[in-house]
Amino acid sequence: MQNKPLILITNDDGITAPGLRALIRIMNKIGEVVVVAPDSPQSGMGHAITVDNVLTCNAITIDDGPQLEYTCSGTPADCVKMAVNEILNRKPDLCVSGINHGSNASISVIYSGTMSAAIEAGIEGIPAIGFSLLDFKWHADFKQSEEYIKKITLNALLNGIPEGVVLNVNIPKLKKEEIKGIKICRQANGVWKEIFDKRKNPMGKEYYWLSGEFINKDKGQDTDLFALESGYVSVVPVQFDMTAHHMIQKLNAWEL
């Protein structure tokens, strides 16, 4: 047991999400697993952390298995912080987040709680991967994901992930035999065009429902969106250093 890698698992869909349960089953075949996940769905939370309220974190048993599980009242990023500082007695060899119910390709990586948990692990110096399946259904079929998640995870443990880098993995909603393989990609240039559906409640007070559509502004054939549309699993190396290094020299030429 001591020779097995220690793997921290988290997500943003909550401790009972089928995607998380599937990821636990996969990781139990690879290493020693500890789960710290939100007690309720936290999709779209981005990298939010809890600073104006208390946090609770409790041991829980949901499925049979060797994994240790904890449920946290906070955000996905909170879950990683709690795991590193309060629960684990050593740094994990890997943190995996997901399997998310729905895409985190292109600009969605910015809003994603799934990816923010992985990024928080990366900030803590832990190699990390976020996994997403392009199926928003709660009872999505995650079977086609297992082979690719296992292959990417084993390669990450064997080869390492450079400090400051996190992997964003998206899996197309296809049958196993329809997936063509894995593509290493860049993040596509896309945006969400928001639509606010304005309504009134029975008391006459206005409220809004947020909806919208995704616009792909990128026609490149080396992007995550192109790979997914072509039937491939996309892997994008993401960095959390947000410095626009190419702009530094230009700014130095300003009269500041």
pLDDT, tens digit (0-9, with 9 covering 90-100), for 50-65: 888 899 999 999 988 8
Nearest to 58 by CA among 74, 76, 42, 77: 74
DSSP letter, residue 178: G
Provide the β-strand partners of residue 236.
168
Task: Please answer whether residues 187 and 175 qualify as being in contact, where contact means their C-beta atoms are separated by less than 8 angstroms.
Answer: no
The model's pTM is 0.92
Residue 189 has pLDDT above 80, yes or no: yes
Task: Please answer whether residues 112 and 12 qualify as being in contact, where contact means their C-beta atoms are separated by less than 8 angstroms.
Answer: yes
Query: What is the pLDDT of the chain when averaged over all its residues?
Result: 93
* Angstrom distance (rounded) from CA 143 to CA 156: 21
Q: How confident is the model at residue 215 (pLDDT cuts 50, 70, 90)?
A: confident
Residue 253 has pLDDT above 70, yes or no: yes
pLDDT at 48: 87
pLDDT at 2: 56
Task: Please answer whether residues 178 and 214 qualify as being in contact, where contact means their C-beta atoms are separated by less than 8 angstroms.
Answer: no
User: What is the arithmetic mean of pLDDT over 183-192?
Assistant: 92
How many CB atoms within 10 Å of residue 97? 35
pLDDT at 1: 42
pLDDT at 50: 82
Q: How confident is the model at residue 45 (pLDDT cuts 50, 70, 90)?
A: confident
Task: Please answer whether residues 101 and 137 qualify as being in contact, where contact means their C-beta atoms are separated by less than 8 angstroms.
Answer: yes
* Angstrom distance (rounded) from CA 236 to CA 159: 16
Q: Is residue 13 marked as binding?
A: yes
Domain architecture of the chain: domains with CATH:
6-187+220-252 (3.40.1210.10)
Q: Is residue 100 marked as binding?
A: yes
pLDDT at 42: 84
Nearest to 110 by CA among 45, 40, 23, 36: 45
Residue with tokens 């500082």: 85
Residue 153 has pLDDT above 50, yes or no: yes
Q: Which two tokens stand for residue 118?
A: 């992985």
* Angstrom distance (rounded) from CA 184 to CA 86: 35
User: What is the arithmetic mean of pLDDT over 155-163?
Assistant: 96
First to last CA, the chain: 59
* Angstrom distance (rounded) from CA 41 to CA 79: 13
What is the per-residue pLDDT across 119-142, written as a single tens digit (0 to 9) for each? 999 999 999 999 999 999 999 999
Look at the alpha carbons of 156, 119, 229, 186 in this order and tell me if their dihedral is positive or negative: negative
* Angstrom distance (rounded) from CA 44 to CA 13: 10
User: What is the arithmetic mean of pLDDT over 236-248?
Assistant: 95
Q: How confident is the model at residue 213 (pLDDT cuts 50, 70, 90)?
A: confident
What is the per-residue pLDDT across 78-127, written as a single tens digit (0 to 9) for each? 999 999 999 998 999 999 999 999 999 999 999 999 999 999 999 999 99
Report helix, strand or coil for 112.
Answer: coil
